[in-house]
Amino acid sequence: MNMNDQTFRVESPMAEFLRMERMPHIWCPGCGIGTVVNSFAEAVKKSNIDMDKLAVVSGIGCTGRVAGYVKLDSLHTTHGRAIPVATGLKLANPELKVVVVSGDGDLFGIGGNHFIHAARRNMDIVVICVNNFTYGMTGGQLTPTTPQTANASTTPYGNYEYPFSLPFLADACGATYVARWTSLHARNITKSIREAFNHKGFSFIEVIAPCTTLYQRRNRLGDGLDALNYYKEEAEVGQEIDTRDVGIDFQSEIRMGRFVKRDKPTYYEAVNERYANVLGDDYQLYGMSKPEREEKARREAEERIRMQALLEEEEARLLAEDIGTDEEGV
């Protein structure tokens, strides 16, 4: 390790958040995954949450490596299985905030079934998908989100399959918070992550991001900057957008924003309520009595209200600064 590395590791503003001893990371120049990690770190810092109570779970893929770099309790699991591991972690230790960060192939190809069921249960976890429309780690194959006509190594003549529209899928499955941004919109991502931290229930954030080495190159779309230019041209924030209308065609319009935010008891709350109703005082999950459970719920609700106020202040500040939002350019 040379001196520069050493200094970088100690002095980096990210040192508190990343396992600096694991730097440099494996991601290619221009890859969109780094942006998401930065926004995530920013969200953690801004929301002031206890990092000891925050855990990250990833599957396998380039994005799956995120768990290995964050200085948090972190589990790098098997391909597609981050969500059920997160489910177990959250249920075994409900005071944790559990965040899944993984790729489009991981979460919606091999892991699709787990996603829809966690959303259906309103499992209280945050799922962040870096959607680069491809299997990055294995060399640019087709994923369930690859737009039609796009070229992938396994659709060398262009894709003919129908892709998933992820916000629509999440919404239909019961997710109670759904947002989409592109990697150009770092501050919006940060804000969404903060909102998701503060949201009770299954939160899904899709981040459209470039895989420069494979998807961009194979489709002759240029480098990372070209991708950001595309987002700048074609990504559009809207209010009250119906998730049925947010499908993405090859290199065409990307509709973004917070599409869904609704209140619904989480899996854990539903379990508690059901058992407490039927079993009364006999019910003591992990030894917690009814008054203790109620006290905990009250504290959490207070905390959520406090955070919400902070978020709103921040929102006002953002607006004032930008006269609009990030899509006008950073």
Partner 1 sequence: MRKSAADPKGVLSGSHFLDGDHALAEGALAAGCRFFAGYPITPSTETAERFAERCPAVGGLFIQMEDEIASVAALIGAAWGGQKVMTVTSGPGFSLMMENIGLAVMTETPMVIANVQRAGPSTGLPTLPAQQDMMQVRWGSQGDYRVIALCPDSPQECFDLAVEAFNLSETYRVPTFIMTDETVGHMHEKVVIPPADQIGVVGRNWYQGPKADYRPYQFTGKDVAPMVKAGDGYRFHITGLTHDERGYPNLTVEQNEKVVTHLIEKIDSNADRIIRLDEDEIEGAEVVVISYGITSRIASRAVQLAREAGIKTGSLRLITIWPFAEKRIAELAGKIKGFVVPEINYGQMVREVERSAAGQCKVVGVGHCGGAVHDPEEILAAIQEAAK
Which x/- pattern over 250-289 shows residues binding ligand TPP (rule: CB under 6 A)? ----------------------------------------
Which of the stretches 167-175, 179-187, 206-214, 307-315 binds ligand SF4 when contact is defined by CB under 6 A? 206-214
9, 25, 46, 71: which one contacts partner 1 (CB under 8 A)? Answer: 71
Measured distance CA(39)–CA(45) in Å, rounded:
10
**Separation of CA 71 from chain center:** 17
Given the complex with Mg ion, which of 217 and 299 has the nearer CB atom?
217
**Which of the listed partners (ligand SF4, Mg ion, partner 1, none) does 104 bind, with a CB threshold of 5 to 8 Å by partner kind?**
Mg ion
Q: Which residues contact 37 (CB under 8 A, 6 or more apart)?
A: 18, 66, 69, 70
Name the residue whose CB lies closest to ligand TPP. 103
- Quick check: 36 binds ligand TPP (CB under 6 A)? no
SS3 state of residue 67: helix
82-92 and 267-279 helices, crossing angle to 10°:
40
- Quick check: 213 binds ligand SF4 (CB under 6 A)? yes
Given the complex with partner 1, which of 276 and 311 has the nearer CB atom?
276
Measured distance CA(13)–CA(216) in Å, rounded:
30
- Quick check: 47 binds ligand SF4 (CB under 6 A)? no
Residues 122-151 binding ligand SF4 (CB under 6 A) are 132, 136-137
**Separation of CA 66 from chain center:** 11
Given the complex with ligand SF4, which of 106 and 326 has the nearer CB atom?
106
Please give the full DSSP string across 300-313, using - where no structure is assigned: HHHHHHHHHHHHHH
Given the complex with partner 1, which of 78 and 149 has the nearer CB atom?
78
List, in sequence order, the alpha helices (H) in the chain. 3-11, 33-47, 66-69, 82-92, 104-105, 112-120, 166-173, 186-198, 217-218, 224-234, 267-279, 290-322
- Quick check: 211 binds ligand SF4 (CB under 6 A)? yes
SS3 state of residue 330: coil
Site residues, partner 1 (CB under 8 A): 19, 21-22, 51-53, 55, 57, 67-68, 71-78, 80-81, 83-93, 95-96, 113-114, 117, 271, 275, 279, 282-288
